[in-house]
Structure formats: C-alpha cells, structure tokens
Chains A and B, each alone.
Chain A
Amino acid sequence: MPPVPNMGPNRGRGPAGPHSARITAEKPKNGTKTLKKLLRYIGRSKYLFFMLLAVMLTITVMGLLAPKIQQVAIDSITPNENRSGVDMDKLVDTLILLAVVYAVSAVMTYLQGRISAKLSQVTVRTMRRDLFGSLVHLPIKYIDDHRHGDLMSRMTNDVENISTTVSQSIGSLISGILTVLGTFIIMLTYSPLLTLISISTIFITIFVSAKMTKYMKKFFVEQQIILGKINGHVEETVTGYRTVVAYSKEQDSIEEFRAMSNELRKTGIKAQICGGMMGPLMNCISNFGFVLIAAFGGWFSIQGWITVGTIQAFILYSKQFSRPINEIANQYANIQTAIAGAERIFEVMEAEPEPVGGELPFDHNDVRGDIDFKNITFGYNKDKPVLRGLDLWVKKGQKIAIVGSTGSGKTTVVNLLTRFYDADEGTITVDGMDITRIPIEELRRSIAIVLQDTVLFSGTIGDNIRYGRADATAEEVAAAADKAYADEFIERLPEKYDTVLSEGGSNLSQGQRQLLSIARAVLADPKILILDEATSSVDTRTEMHIQSAMVALMKDRTSLIIAHRLSTIRDADKIVVIDQGRVSEAGSHEELIAQHGKYYQLYQTQFAGSKT
C-alpha cells in the first residue's frame, strides 16, 4: 500500500466491519434508477435479449401444452362409452406429438442456457471493463478515502452477483411470469369461477410467504452479522497471534469465541426452524387449494356447471400456477441484492474522474526542472490543514532534502507536486507553468517517484522495470538495472529478467524490491525525481547499494528527497525543515546547525555523540 498520509484520509471510519456494511446495503437506495442503468447494459446485447425472450416464450408454451397432451394420451387409454379398449392409434399419435413437444422444449432449454450465459458474460465483461476504466482514472483521494477491500468487493462480489442474476434470476423471473400468465388464461377458459377460487389461495400463499420471508430475513441477517463477528475475531486473533500469545490471552480469546459460536448456534437453529416451516406451510396452503378446488369443483359438477375433466385439468394447472409464485418471490430478492450491488458499482463509475489538466503546451522531454510552491495551503480534511502557506522553490538540477517530524506534511508535498491531490490555496509551478494548466500526463511523465513502500506488479522482473518506459529494449532495461545496482541480484535469479514475481514481489527482499523500483525510475529518465527514503530495515550491503543507486539516480536531475539519513541530508544542496505546515528553516547543513533551531534539535537527537 502506498503511504497514506496519517493525518487525513483514513480517519473517521466507523467501527462497522465489512460484513455489517454489506448487509445494511442490501436494499438499493434508488432501485428504479439503478435498474434502468443496469438494463441499459443488458440492452447493449438487444439481439441476445430478444432471442432469450423468444426462446423462453417457446419453453413456456411447450410447458403449458405438455400436460394437456399427456391428458389426451391418458384419455386414449381410458375406456369410455364409445370404446371399451385402448385407442392404440391415437395413443401412438399423441405420444409422438408429446415427444416432439418434449424435444423442442429440451432444445429450447439448452438454447436458453447458452443464450443467457452469453448475455450475462458479455454484460458482465462490459461492466467490469467500464468499472476498471473508471477505476484507473479515479483520483487518489477517492482511493485513499475508500477501504481497498471495499473497492475490491465491488469489483468482484457485486459484479459476480449481477452475473448470476442476469444468467439465472432474469430467466426464472420471465419464465415464471409467463407460466403464471399462461396458466391463468387457460384456467379462465375452463372456468372463471374456479379460477377465482385458485387465485384466492395464491393470495394467501403470497401473503404468508412474504410474512415468513420477512421474519426469516431477520434471522439470516442476524446470522450474517454473527458470522461477520466470528470472522473478524478469528482474523484478528490469528494475525495478532504473537501478541495474543505474548500476553497469554489464548484462554480469553477462546472464551470470547465460544460465546459468539454459541450465539451463532442459537440464531442458526432459529433461522432453520423458521426456514424449515416455510416448505411444509406452503405445501399445506397449496394442498388446501386442491381440496377447495376438488370440493367446489365437485359441487359445481353436481350442479352441472362444469365437467369432470375440467376438475382434473384444473388440479393439474393450479399446481403449475402456484409453483412459480415462490420462485418469483425468491428471484425478486436476488434481483434486489444485485441491484444494490449495481448501485455500488455505478457509484464508482460515476465518481468524478481525475482532471486531465490544462492545455498549455508542455513536453516532458524539454522540462528544465524549476519547481516553485507558492503559498500552499492544503488539508486532507478541509478543517484540518496540513500545509499552511508553504513556500518552497527548487532550481533545476538541485537536490533538496525535506526533513520534519512525523505528520509534518513531508509526504503531502509529494502528493501535491504529482497532483495526486490539489492544493486548496496557492499555486505550484514547474518551469514557471501552473501545474493545473498543463496536461496531467505530461506533468507526471516529467517526474519519477520512488516510494518508501515499493509497489511491484505481477509479471516478470523485466516487465516491472519496463514500467518506467514501456518501449524500452532489453539492453536499456539491463542498463537501467545496472545503474540501479539491481543487476547483481537479478543475474543470480534462475530466470534473470524473466523471473516471474509472485504476488506483489513477495519472493524478493525489501531491499531488492527497492532496487527494482529505483531501476524503474532510472529507465523512465525524468527531469524531476522524488525519493521517499526508506526507513525500513534492510541489510547493510543492500543498504549501501540503495544509497549508491539513489546517488546515481539523482545526478543531473531536480530531486526532492524525503530524507531520513544524515548522509543524504548533508549531500543535499538545500535542506528544508517543515514544521507546522510551513517551511520553518532552509539552508545547508552547516548553516542550519549554526542557527541552533529546529534542525539542530532534530540533528542532536539523532546523531549527538556520533559526529565524525
């Protein structure tokens, strides 16, 4: 992770863990608007969508036809007044027809599977691409202000949710609605009166299931929260295991865990009892419907209003009628979740992108490297300024060491020069040009930064050095590595420059990672250089290499160094002490020592007694 200025962005986030956040966000805030945007994505594959609709319509019709034909087949083996035996010809004919219906239905179901897969995958890929497209152009502030895990979860879980919803829920929803409608129409043609009776049980079903779902949801949310707590407890205890052991807190931790574990058991049982009642209850209601239909149907047929065949057909159809209702309710909940996810995705997509900068002509190849901070005021929080009227100028080719205590705003200077953040007041110029008025890309191409926390990307060592300049040849890469004192360890690796880094370069030591990021900066060959000196521990040899590499790198460039070492500081053309958000002292080492000011104090605490 890049260094996050400790005064600002990460502050003020509530104690709520990632899990509670996800649950409370389950309901979309502005469902219809998000749905419209989501539909626009699906709408990009209009052709696929309408094909899916057509296929599903066919499946539904086939589904409605099948029981009817089956009934005819059964009728043909049923003896009646006209014949005593089986009407074999008619049976075979009907069975062939039924076989055709089944075959068509199977083929269409297969097509539905393929089309909805394609539809969902294309939609999701487009969405991911757009999301990533906006992600790379997000201002650093946005990324600092959001938990990385949260951003990642939008890219993965939320997108995945949408994918399943498009491929499954939409299909089930449409076919469910079509089936209900179709069945309803067929039932109406048989008997409006009986239809009314079946409908009434449907309403009871919907009512009860809505009530139950609401109740159940409460338990499931509770369950998720406890699960989240357990998750957090385990994660914390395991990552902090050394401390737990050092303070002999194992038993306390186990007890705490047991309490949560038991709580989870209790809610789990409640949720399960509640969920387990749902099925039987629905079953009762739908069977109650059959009894009603049978009873009323019997009475109607005794009155001579309907035929016996109608009752039988009705029982069959009313079963088909009630089945999709639950399905629709379930899918509706899934779609809600997906929309809530989509809302989070669109939030990122619609976040204000980074400014592209101004139009003034500026070519990174022709930069001289004069830098001027004029009266800069800036705070990560508006009410807590970190810099208060900072003035700082660096002439081309100069080496400036910035020193100051933690939180004094050293890193902020870097953040502003690269326009990771923009100053609230004042202007920063490079070669006399306001940096907000030149193209941001050209500005950044003229600067290279080497951060304390090195960032490496998955890929080979060569790829990572080439990050500085994508079109560099293998020789140029090697030359850069050589200058950065990195070639020695690279040559010792089995695959040399083609060695693939495991995640984030964890197979390299901290020092090696730093050398790589210096090589990257060497290759980029910028006019302006920003070095955030590492405080972290590396062994003496590597340390010396890093030092020498940095010295080599700084040659003939305007360099801003956030300095932690006396050697760097002494070597600088100018030392700038930042205190309370402004430059409190500036000058050479000797001058500042003579002043007996802030620098003198810093120097004393660090090096007193070790002067040479």
Chain B
Amino acid sequence: MKLARYLKPYTLFALLAPLAMVGEVFVDLLQPKLLSQIVDDGVLPQNMDVILSTGIIMMLTIILGGCCGSASSAFSGVASQGFARDLRNDVFSRVMGLSFQQTDKFTTGSLVTRLTTDITAIQQLVDFALRMFVRNIMFLIGGVFMMMQLNVRFGIVVAVSLPLEVLIVVLIMRFANPLYTIVAGKLDNVNTVMQENVTGARVVKAYVREQSETERFDAANGALMDSNLKVMRLMALLGPLLMLIMNAAVLAVIYIGGLQVEARELKVGEVMAAVTYVTQILHGIMMLSMMSQSISRASASAKRLNEVLATEPVISDGQGAEGAEQGTVEFRNVSFAYPSSTGRPVLAEIDLKIAKGENIAILGATGSGKSSLVNLIPRFYDAVSGEVLVDGADVRSYELSDLRSRIGIVLQKSELFSASVAENIRWGKKDATDEEVVEAAKIAQADEFVSNMPEGYDSRIAEKGASLSGGQKQRLSIARAVLKKPEILIFDDSTSALDLRTEASLRQKLRESLKGTTVITIAQRIASVKDCDRIAVIDHGRLVACAPHEELLAGCAVYQDIYRSQVRTGGEE
C-alpha cells in the first residue's frame, strides 16, 4: 500500500478509468433490457419500426459503451504504466545507491526479478484494480440489487449460494497452496539435475555416469509428475463445483420464479432477467477469486520492492574534502569486519602508509584480508574503526565520485558490459580519443588480440564477454583502468588468468607508462610481485611485514612459507 503514492501523479487518469468503466457497465446492463424490448415490443407484435428504432438505439449505446471501455483501458494504461515506470526508476536508482554489503544481500537474479516481473505484476494489478475490480464489484452489487428489487425471495438464493462459492474457493486454495510449494520444490530438483548435467557434462562423461544420471533424473522427473498430478486433480474440482452451485442457483431461481408467476407476483420476462443476474453475480465471484490470486501474488511482489526501497545506503557522500597530498594512501589503525558475518574481524589494526608513486604489493593467503584492505580505499566498504586516508584526507570526508575519480581499481573478476570493445575501455575516460584507447590497450597487452577480432575495437562484447577468454577479459579491464590515469591504481589479483609471459610484459609496460602513479598490487604468485618496491604481507587479518622481497625472504616466516610452497616444494617429501 505504501506504493500507492506512485499513483499520485496519475490521479486524474486513475479516476477517469473506473468512471469510464462505469459507463461501459451501464451500457452492458442496458443491453438485455433493450434486447427484450426488441422481442417483446417489436417481434411479438410484429412491429418493424420498433425493431429498427430499438436496433439503432442499441447500436448507438453499444458504440458508446465500446468507447467507454476503450477509454477506460487507455486511461488505466496511462496511469498504471506511468506508475510502473516511476516505481521502476525509483527502485533502480535506489539499487544504484546501495553499498556492496547491501547489494551482496540481494542476489542479481532477485534484483532482476524485482525490477521486471514484480513490477509487471503490480502494474497489472493496478490496471486490473482500476478496471476489472470496479467492473466485477459493480456487476456483483448491481446484480444483487436488481435481483432483490425483482423479488425479495431471490435474496435467499443469493444468500445461500454466494457464501458457499466463497467457502469452496477458500477451501480449495488452502489445500492447493502448500501443494504448489511442493511442486515448485520438485521442479527445482529436476532443473538442478539438468543444470548439473549441462555444466558438468565433461565429468559425467569422463566417469561414464550417463546411466546413473539418467536414473537420477527419472526419479526427480517422476516425483515432479506425481506432485503435479496431485495439485491438478485438486484444482480440477474447483471449476465444476462452482459451476454446479451456479447452476443449482439458476434452477432455484426458475423454480421460485415459477411459484411467483403462479402467484402473479412476477412476469416471465423478469424471471428470465433474474436468471441472467444470478449468473452474473456468481460469475463475478469467480472472477474475484481469480483476482485474489493475483492480489496475493502482487502483494508478495510489493513486499519485495518495498524491501529494496526501504534499504538506506550506508555509505554516502562526505562534506567534500579536497586532500592536501597527491597519490598517497594511509591506513591508520584500521580494523574491519563484514557486517553480515559474526564478529570475527577480517582486518585488525592495520597501519600502513603508501607514498606517491610507490609500487607496493599485498600478499597473503586466501581469506587473509587482502581484498578487504584495498576495498576500503575507494569506500566499497567502510572501516569499522581506524581511518583510511587518501591524499591526506579521510576517505569519508570526500564526495564519493571525487574520491573514486582519484582511484583506478581492476577487480579480481573482470566485469565487461555489452558494448563495443572501445566503449568498454572508454569507461575509464568518457572523452578519450581513439588513439588514447589504443594506447591504453597496448599497455594492457590487449591491442594484439583486439586487432585480430573481426571488427577490431568496434567488435561488440556479448554476454559479459563470454566469447573472450579470462585473460582477454582481464586485459580489457586493465586497459580501462589505465585509460583512467588515476593517481592510485589498484590491481586486485587481476592478472591471474594471464600466462606468465604476458604478465611479465604487462608489468614491464605498466612500469614504463605509469611513472608517478601509486600502484597497489594484490597477487598470489611471488613471481608477479617480487620486483615491487615493497611487499606487504597479510596473515589472518594482520599486517606482519612490509619490506622489499630480499628482506622478507631473509626475515619473514610467513613470506618464506609462501615462497616455499610456490617454488620449492615438489614431490620430494
């Protein structure tokens, strides 16, 4: 209901839509009357004039009704689609403002569903409510009203059959809903087996497991069929039962009508009208029961959207510091823990000062906190305690876009976007010339393979770069960061997919072209970092040493360990 405010700009249309619908319903209710008029006053007394004139009136009202109906759906279309657009935009903007700890919570799939399926569900509900809800309610109320007016006794028929229908719908739905959950679970199982066999086809074949996989699938498949049948059998009851009640009501109306005609309380035509009305009322109930399903679906959607809208970004702009230095980074007694995890700090009391133009590496085992450390620099996350300074000022005092413009970061997972190669590189600098783009690609060792692509730099990257190898993707992301020419450049284990030769020439090129840039490199291989000015060794969230390669090799136990595991160990022991 909180979402109702999004309808406000379209109040006029939201009011016009049901109003126009009233017009259509009115014409619809008029039709049987006019039709009976043609029969009663025209055909029966064989009066051609009445037939023609009533026919013309009928045509005119029908056209009027049609116009009302079309107008209603147009009005409600304007209102509901506008509503959906505004809501969609707001949700997306909200998502774009979230911090990582918050986006981590929502998975990509769920955000996509929220922005498309969920919004469509709500949009349809709004559209439905503005038109069909009004229509059915009017038919229902109008029908009851008309019937009671015809004869109070018909009220009994309505009073009995109406609650009965509602009861049946509620009962069947109550039994069916848990069954639907079971079906969804079984369907998941079938999909999982399938998914595993598509992605793991090599292993299935290598271990000659086709037969047993087929058996596993058959079991899941059979279970899905059984649970599907169960719910379908139950649902097969709903339609006939509702129809039965409706038809029984029709019978009752004719019977009661007969008695009333006998008693001269009613005319035959009125009995026929009552039959039409009772059908209309019960039909309305069926429609409303269907609508209740879409309401419950939409309310689930609304809940999911409100969840996003209610999430306040935890990291926001500072007051706009300037920064007195250039290209320096400093960690002052920094501790950090992921908000979702329980307690155990990822980083503890880190003190590290990185000078302008320094080439520093960060080394450590997986989970030691290397990535977390560099994530604090562009404020992907905020430190729990201590201070992170960039260019001499606390990162929290910068405007986010200003802070991030000083920093280039190449992530562990290269993320490319569906656009041309050049456009992807140009992310680093919007107005870069073609020469600059090529130059950046050359530094990143990407120029060669890009030039070999059929359309060179204009080749489109499809599906997040599925047609590129891991190494190619990494080189493009590096080119992007290089083009940005930031003061501080961070490589977060971003050369792992490069073979050693390419990596070596990349390092060479970077050294030549990035004079004066502060470079922070996270790496796994000692070979990749041993030429750095200093290597910071992180172990279990603590900075154990920071010195050049030779020094560490001589005096740092953790470093020696790593070194041994990479270079010296083999099968000897």
Contact = CB atoms under 8 A, between A and B. Distances in A.
B240 A106 contact: yes
Interface in A146-164: 147-148, 151-152, 155-156
Interface stretch (A179-187, A188-196, A475-483, A601-609): A601-609
Contacts of A50: none
A73 interface: yes
Binding site secondary structure of chain A: helix
A6 B88 contact: no
B70 A129 contact: no
Given A95-B254, A405-B502, A272 B81 contact: yes
B192 A312 contact: no
B167 interface: no
Contact of B88 (A132, A261, A457): A261
A91 B469 contact: no
Interface string A55-88: 0000000000000001001101111000001101
Contacts of B290: none
B45 to A, nearest CB: 10
B496 interface: yes
Given A132-B214, A248-B400, A276-B70, A565 B258 contact: no
Contacts of A11: 467
B236 A114 contact: yes
Interface stretch (A326-334, A426-434, A445-453): A445-453
A265 B111 CA distance: 20
Interface in B270-306: 271-272, 275
A133 B214 contact: yes
A185 B407 CA distance: 81
Contacts of B194: 132, 135, 152, 155-156
Contact of A121 (B70, B232, B237): B232
Contact of A301 (B46, B103, B197, B401): B46
Contacts of A243: 411, 415, 427, 477
Contacts of B568: 567, 612
Nearest to A552: B571
Contact of B46 (A253, A298, A547, A548): A298
Given A294-B55, A448-B206, A406 B218 contact: no
A2 B232 contact: no
Contacts of B496: 535-537
A455 B202 CA distance: 9
A302 B48 contact: yes
A1 B203 CA distance: 10
A494 interface: no
Contacts, number: 445
A86 B258 CA distance: 7
| Interface-central residue, A73, A114, A242, A510, by most chain B CB under 10 Å | A242
Given A152-B194, A232-B418, A236-B418, A106 B244 contact: yes
Nearest to B196: A457
Interface in A529-583: 535-541, 543-544, 547-548, 551, 565-568, 570-571
B212 A470 contact: yes
A280 interface: yes
B69 interface: yes
Contacts of A511: 366
B464 interface: yes
Interface string A1-32: 11000100011111101000000000000000
Contacts of A77: 254, 257-258, 261-262, 268, 271
Interface stretch (B35-43, B138-146, B150-158): B35-43
Interface string B37-62: 01100111010100110010011001
Contacts of A230: 88, 115-116
Interface in B195-227: 195-210, 212-214, 217-218, 221-222, 224-225
B92 A254 contact: yes
Contacts of A261: 85, 88-89, 92
A135 B116 contact: no
B251 interface: yes
A594 interface: no
A239 interface: yes
B518 to A, nearest CB: 16
A292 to B, nearest CB: 8
Contacts of A51: none
A396 to B, nearest CB: 19
A13 B462 contact: yes
B385 interface: no
Interface string B541-573: 000000000000000000001110111111101
Contacts of A78: 268
Contacts of A445: 208
Q: Which of A137, A295, A315 has the most CB of B within 10 A?
A: A295
A103 interface: yes
B240 A128 contact: no
A267 to B, nearest CB: 9
A560 B407 CA distance: 44
Interface stretch (B93-101, B348-356, B433-441): B93-101
B191 A2 contact: no
Contact of B38 (A280, A294, A406, A444): A294
The 6 A-B pairs at the shortest CB distance, nearest first, are namely A276-B73, A113-B236, A6-B469, A272-B77, A280-B66, A240-B415
Given A151-B198, A294-B38, 16 more contacts: A13-B467, A102-B248, A106-B240, A106-B247, A243-B411, A246-B380, A248-B400, A264-B85, A290-B58, A291-B59, A301-B43, A311-B43, A405-B502, A458-B193, A538-B366, A547-B565
10 contacts: A2-B202, A124-B225, A140-B205, A143-B201, A240-B415, A245-B404, A276-B70, A302-B46, A537-B366, A567-B567
